[in-house]
């Protein structure tokens, strides 16, 4: 996904330099597609660095390689460029959401360590970089992220000063002789105040966010109520000759609301205003997780045990409109609790806090929902499906998703006359020549190779080689029809012994005038699951 977003940043730069409306429309279309159809509540997107089927967000729940921080870094860059061309309110709403819920959440406040993947899988966790042991793309862009919080607070159009974000800041505008500061405890406090440190002949435009709970804004100038309306562009216009010492305050009423997973699954995120709420959980009491990445090639992935999905606490209610069951806890900060029934009794007192304040813990951002009547069936079905997935992961030593850039790069992809694509939501690779990977087996446990195919492929002949030896000759017949099938190949001792330093070289070689593949998945396994 993040090979595409920078390209579209380039689209908008071309549009600006060449004054070309077509390039701008292309960039805006991409932005709308990603934000409206392919992003989750925190403002991030992608699983294993790829856009999945927009009609099926199941990978977002099942996988641990959730939204990549670099993607959001570049989406914010694109948003700023698009806003410079058209000051549309949806650009600011997205910017705020992604800034608070993904970017701010991607740095460990204790060490400064940075996050690569932010799993949306319930009860998983993040790992953070260490200064001398991890240098990923999301460290480089991450270092930039956390010095850019001032980049979008203010804007101007002609002589109008626009307040986009509610973040404490001080603005100097020398050309207008203006100095103004914004004072706020947002989002902990539901308001903001501007204080003019100089006289100023400018018009002020205050953003009225889409999440505001009231239609009528509460504006006060120098402590006195000021009648104000919200324009069609979501802005409050204030025209006045400002004097040094003038103050403008704006109340920002927030309420709790739910956002369903974009594909309509019964998973919901909880927001208060623009802030995503989450809960820390302890599904494995007494476990000791290492939240800091080592210097290994896969160190950026939180590779600890996955909690079975059926053990995720479930919000139980007669309808999915259960936002009124979430109440704020008295006291400082944003702290909430769910007052209704939770499917895991020991989690009935779960406390919800802003996701950006939840660190070094397992967590839940997306909560399953069920009616009381369907709860038992839901948990039973989830348990059966999850048991199969987890058993497969337990038996897997190494795996590759062919056709996906990052997994292929991590496994030393090479090939001749080869292509990749997507079919029914899954990536594939095939070749008229050959292609191959390096599989890792550090403890010498490998006994089987599992390959995933598309059952309808027919008329293809190729060989599968490991460590230079043919382990299978394949002829596809299409007999399985339009579904994915897995085939297991035993690995004999001679083949395994030919590997070097715990690594096995795998190749798919096309027959004369034929095609090798398509290959949809590769797993190196200790043993096979029970049928």
pLDDT mean across residues, the chain: 93
Strands in 409-483 per DSSP E: 414-423, 426-440, 448-454, 458-466, 469-477
- Given this model, what pLDDT does residue 345 score? 47
Token reading at 72:
């959001």
Q: CB under 8 Å to 119, separation ≥6 — which residues?
A: 63, 64, 65, 66, 125, 126, 302
- Given this model, what pLDDT does residue 315 score? 85
Mean pLDDT calculated for residue range 486-505: 95
The phi, psi pair for 197, rounded to 5°, reads: -95, -5
- Given this model, what pLDDT does residue 405 score? 85
Half-sphere CA count of 71, side-chain side, radius 13 A: 28
Mean pLDDT calculated for residue range 69-90: 97
Strand partners, 352: 336
Position 195 pLDDT exceeds 60 = yes
Mean pLDDT calculated for residue range 434-461: 96
Mean pLDDT calculated for residue range 468-493: 94
Q: In the structure, what pLDDT confidence band is assigned to residue 346 with cuts at 50, 70 and 90?
A: very low
Mean pLDDT calculated for residue range 134-158: 95
Q: In the structure, what pLDDT confidence band is assigned to residue 426 with cuts at 50, 70 and 90?
A: confident
Which tens digits make up the pLDDT trace of 164-180?
999 999 999 999 999 99
Count of beta carbons in the 10 Å neighbourhood of residue 480: 16
Residue ranges in 21-119 assigned as alpha helix (H): 21-37, 58-62, 69-85, 89-98
Position 29 pLDDT exceeds 90 = yes
- Percentage above 70 pLDDT, the chain: 98
Torsion sign over Cα 174, 180, 185, 187:
negative
Count of beta carbons in the 10 Å neighbourhood of residue 344: 15
Which tens digits make up the pLDDT trace of 83-127?
999 999 999 999 999 999 999 999 999 999 999 999 999 999 999
DSSP string, 375-387: HHHHHHHHHHHHH
Torsion sign over Cα 131, 134, 140, 143:
negative
- Asked if omega into 399 is within 30° of 0 (cis), the reply is no
Token reading at 414:
């090479």
Mean pLDDT calculated for residue range 80-84: 97
Position 425 pLDDT exceeds 80 = no
Rounded Cα gap, residues 460 and 29, in angstroms:
39
> How far is CA 310 from each of CA 122, 384, 386, rounded to the nearest angstrom?
10, 9, 7
- Given this model, what pLDDT does residue 311 score? 80
Of the chain, the end-to-end C-alpha distance in Å amounts to: 36
Strand partners, 193: 183, 249
Lowest pLDDT segment from 227-231, 384-388, 418-422: 384-388
Using DSSP, state whether 309 is helix, strand or coil.
helix
Mean pLDDT calculated for residue range 340-347: 60
Rounded Cα gap, residues 519 and 509, in angstroms:
12
Q: Which helix (H) or strand (E) holds 316?
A: strand 315-316
222-250: burial string, b at 16+ Cβ within 10 Å, e else: eeeebebebeeebbbebeeebeeebebbb
Token reading at 263:
């594909």
Residue with the larger pLDDT of the pair 215 and 278: 278
Q: In the structure, what pLDDT confidence band is assigned to residue 452 with cuts at 50, 70 and 90?
A: very high
Rounded Cα gap, residues 242 and 452, in angstroms:
69
Lowest pLDDT segment from 319-323, 383-387, 412-416: 383-387
Using DSSP, state whether 360 is helix, strand or coil.
coil
Which tens digits make up the pLDDT trace of 199-257?
999 999 999 999 998 888 999 999 999 999 999 889 999 999 999 999 999 999 999 99
Position 305 pLDDT exceeds 80 = yes
- Percentage above 90 pLDDT, the chain: 78
Q: What is the DSSP letter of 308?
A: P
- Given this model, what pLDDT does residue 531 score? 64
Rounded Cα gap, residues 305 and 314, in angstroms:
20
308 and 389 Cβ atoms separated by less than 8 Å: no
Rounded Cα gap, residues 464 and 199, in angstroms:
77
Q: CB under 8 Å to 196, separation ≥6 — which residues?
A: 178, 179, 180, 242, 243, 244, 245, 246, 247
Please compute Rg for the chain using Cα positions: 26
Strand partners, 154: 163
Q: CB under 8 Å to 33, separation ≥6 — which residues?
A: none
The phi, psi pair for 376, rounded to 5°, reads: -60, -45
Rounded Cα gap, residues 296 and 342, in angstroms:
39
355 and 105 Cβ atoms separated by less than 8 Å: yes
Q: CB under 8 Å to 377, separation ≥6 — which residues?
A: none
Rounded Cα gap, residues 81 and 91, in angstroms:
10
Position 198 pLDDT exceeds 50 = yes
Q: Enumerate long-range contacts of 18-23, CB under 8 Å, 24 or more apart.
A: none
Mean pLDDT calculated for residue range 473-480: 94
Q: Among candidates 333, 166, 150, which has minimal Cα distance to 248?
A: 166
């Amino acid at each position: 996904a993040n090979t595409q977003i920078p390209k579209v940043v380039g689209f908008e730069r071309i549009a600006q330099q060449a004054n070309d409306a077509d390039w701008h429309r292309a960039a805006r279309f991409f932005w709308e597609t990603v934000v409206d159809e392919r992003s989750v509540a925190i403002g991030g997107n992608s699983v294993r660095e790829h856009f999945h089927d927009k009609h099926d967000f199941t990978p977002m729940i099942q996988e641990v390689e959730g939204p990549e921080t670099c993607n959001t870094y570049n989406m914010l860059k694109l948003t700023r460029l698009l806003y410079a061309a058209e000051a549309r309110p949806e650009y600011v709403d997205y910017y705020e959401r992604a800034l608070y819920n993904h970017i701010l959440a991607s740095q460990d406040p204790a060490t400064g360590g940075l996050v690569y993947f932010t799993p949306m899988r319930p009860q998983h966790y993040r790992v953070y970089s260490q200064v001398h042991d991890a240098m990923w793309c999301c460290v480089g862009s991450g270092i930039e992220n956390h010095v850019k919080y001032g980049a979008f607070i203010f804007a101007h159009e002609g002589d109008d000063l626009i307040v986009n974000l509610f973040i404490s800041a001080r603005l100097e505008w020398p050309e207008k002789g203006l100095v103004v500061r914004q004072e706020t405890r947002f989002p902990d406090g539901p308001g903001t105040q501007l204080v003019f440190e100089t006289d100023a002949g400018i018009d002020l435009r205050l953003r009225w966010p889409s999440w505001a709970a009231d239609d009528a804004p509460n504006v006060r100038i120098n402590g006195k109520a000021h009648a104000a309306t919200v324009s069609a562009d979501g802005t409050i216009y204030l025209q006045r000759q400002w004097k040094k010492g003038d103050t403008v305050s704006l109340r920002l009423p927030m309420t709790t609301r739910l956002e369903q997973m974009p594909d309509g699954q019964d998973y919901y995120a909880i927001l208060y205003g623009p802030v995503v709420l989450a809960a820390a959980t302890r599904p494995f009491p007494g476990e000791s997780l290492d939240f800091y990445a080592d210097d290994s090639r896969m160190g950026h992935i939180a590779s600890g045990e996955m909690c079975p999905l059926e053990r995720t606490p479930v919000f139980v209610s007669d309808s999915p409109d259960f936002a009124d069951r979430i109440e704020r806890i008295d006291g400082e900060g944003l702290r909430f609790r769910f007052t209704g029934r939770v499917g895991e009794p020991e989690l009935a007192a779960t406390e919800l806090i802003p996701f950006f304040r939840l660190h070094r813990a397992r967590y839940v951002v997306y909560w399953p929902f069920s009616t009381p009547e369907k709860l038992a069936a839901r948990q039973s079905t989830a348990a059966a499906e999850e048991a199969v997935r987890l058993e497969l992961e337990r038996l897997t030593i190494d795996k590759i998703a062919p056709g996906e850039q990052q997994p292929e790069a991590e496994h030393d992809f090479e090939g001749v006359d080869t292509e990749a694509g997507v079919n029914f939501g899954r990536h594939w690779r095939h070749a008229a020549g050959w292609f191959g990977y390096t599989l890792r087996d550090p403890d010498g446990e490998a006994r089987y190779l599992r390959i995933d195919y598309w059952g309808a492929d027919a008329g293809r002949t190729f060989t599968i080689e490991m460590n230079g030896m043919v382990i299978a000759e394949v002829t596809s017949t299409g007999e399985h029809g339009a579904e994915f099938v897995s085939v297991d190949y035993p690995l004999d001792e001679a083949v395994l012994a030919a590997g070097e330093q715990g690594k096995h070289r795998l190749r798919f070689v096309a027959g004369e005038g034929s095609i090798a593949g398509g290959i949809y998945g590769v797993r190196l396994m200790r043993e096979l699951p029970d049928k």
